[in-house]
Amino acid sequence: MCSNSGRWMWLAAAILLPMMTAQAVVVTPGNTVAISGTSVGLRPELGGPIIVDDTVAYSIPGFASGTIQRRVVRDIGGTLDFYWQVTRDANSTVDIGSLRVRGFESVTTDVDFRTDGLGTLGPSSVHSFSPNLGYLNFNFNPALSPATTSRFMFIHTDATTYHLESDALDVATPEQNPISNSLPTYVPGVPEPATMSLLALGGLAVLRRKRK
């Protein structure tokens, strides 16, 4: 039989477990949301294999340089999550205040950063631009100083395919001036063939109705 103390421990666990489950942080166009970090322990749906992992160099000539690690993860739900991590060179003379990405106008934009990986500083908020849909800023406050590495920032999406988009990634100082060179990054892919076929059939149906 279970002792009274055992019953209380099970009851406490039952109460605390839902409280420990982190919720999605969704940002909508024209708005800014605060983020505080999460982990696979808090959000098990983020777990899954890394299918792309590489690095590109950025530069704000005369001010800052470093690298951005780009990562795509196929999570346990079968959809894709897109990650970035910024590393600062020690000889940089200005702080980095934000990382900007584009190409996410057609997917759910659930955003945050990971506390269970490498890096020392996560962004404090994410801003979704309007009318430039699909543009998002991960904002650092405090800013990312030289010789430091950020946490992995991510967008958890409902996309199932991806491609490499040119001129879709950059970093900037806290004042948003100057801005680094524009770099390619991985973004959700175009609709799959089956979806394209459905769209084409829908378009043909509209044309037929108009002709009649």
pLDDT digits 0-9 by tens, 10-60:
434 333 334 445 789 999 999 999 999 999 999 999 999 999 999 999 999
43-57, 100-114, 181-195: least confidently modelled range: 181-195
Confidence of residue 67 (pLDDT cuts 50, 70, 90): very high
Residue 116 reports pLDDT greater than 60: yes
Distance between CA atoms of residues 147 and 7, nearest Å: 51
Residue 48: predicted pLDDT: 98
* Element (DSSP H or E) covering residue 111: strand 110-113
Distance between CA atoms of residues 170 and 179, nearest Å: 7
Residue 88 amino acid letter: R
Residue 68 reports pLDDT greater than 80: yes
Query: Which DSSP letter does residue 174 get?
Result: T
28-37, 74-83, 178-187, 200-209: least confidently modelled range: 200-209
Residue 194 reports pLDDT greater than 50: no
| b/e code 5-27 from CB counts within 10 Å (16+ = b) | eeeeeeeeeeeeeeeeeeeebeb
Chain centroid, CA 122 distance in Å: 12
Q: Beta 162-172 vs 80-88: how paired, if at all?
A: unpaired
Residue 191: predicted pLDDT: 53
**Hey, where are the domains in the chain?**
21-206
109-113, 171-175, 180-184, 205-209: least confidently modelled range: 205-209
Distance between CA atoms of residues 33 and 62, nearest Å: 32
Mean pLDDT confidence for 125-141 = 94
Residue 209: predicted pLDDT: 41
Residue 63, both tokens = 């001010």
For residue 148, CA distances in Å to 31, 89, 122, 159, 202 come to: 28, 8, 11, 31, 51
